[in-house]
A and B are shown apart, each in its own frame.
Chain A
């Protein structure tokens, strides 16, 4: 069964350092989401792509976060510089039809900023 792949699974970084996460969605899924989830909270949408285009990045802290999906397939989310408050689970998900179809999630990357 096809899965959304994310790496790394865990990442510990010092504050002010740069960190990057990678996501490979299910083949053929045009929509790709990056969510951030703080313990005890629901996933918060950071950025959404439709193919290679950004559809929604209104909640992305653009002074330190960036995301790209250059060929409309895999995607990278970067934080530079990392802050203590960025410690969270970063989840990638993909779907065939934006918010009106089921989303398939990866295992997530657990980021700890020290």
Chain B
């Protein structure tokens, strides 16, 4: 069955640096990959969606890459701020293309 791994449970960086989060998947080839932000006690909020035929997508300080050969997505936050501190979730469409499956998430802490 499909497996999603977000390698780091926690990532601590200083304000102004670039945060890079990793999402790896195995056993299938998703057509779509998404990133969400989740704050404590709240539901996830959509950030970016990238398709298998897109190598990179940007939105303001956010950048996502999708490498179907490595079966990996990288999520970058440039010029990070303490307000970026949250858990970031990687999500993929399942093998049938019908449902959205999530990784465990990486908790980012940005210190000032």
Contacts and interface: CB of A to CB of B under 8 A. Distances in A.
Interface of A: 4, 33, 35, 40-45, 48, 50, 55-56, 91, 93, 95, 98-108, 110
23 contacts: A4-B43, A33-B100, A35-B102, A41-B104, A41-B105, A42-B89, A42-B105, A55-B98, A56-B99, A93-B43, A93-B44, A93-B100, A98-B97, A98-B99, A98-B100, A99-B99, A99-B100, A100-B97, A101-B49, A102-B46, A103-B34, A108-B42, A108-B43
Contacts of B42: 107-108
A4 to B, nearest CB: 8
B32 A100 contact: yes
Among A91, A99, A100, max chain B CB count under 10 A is at A99
Interface residues of B, number: 27
B99 A105 contact: no
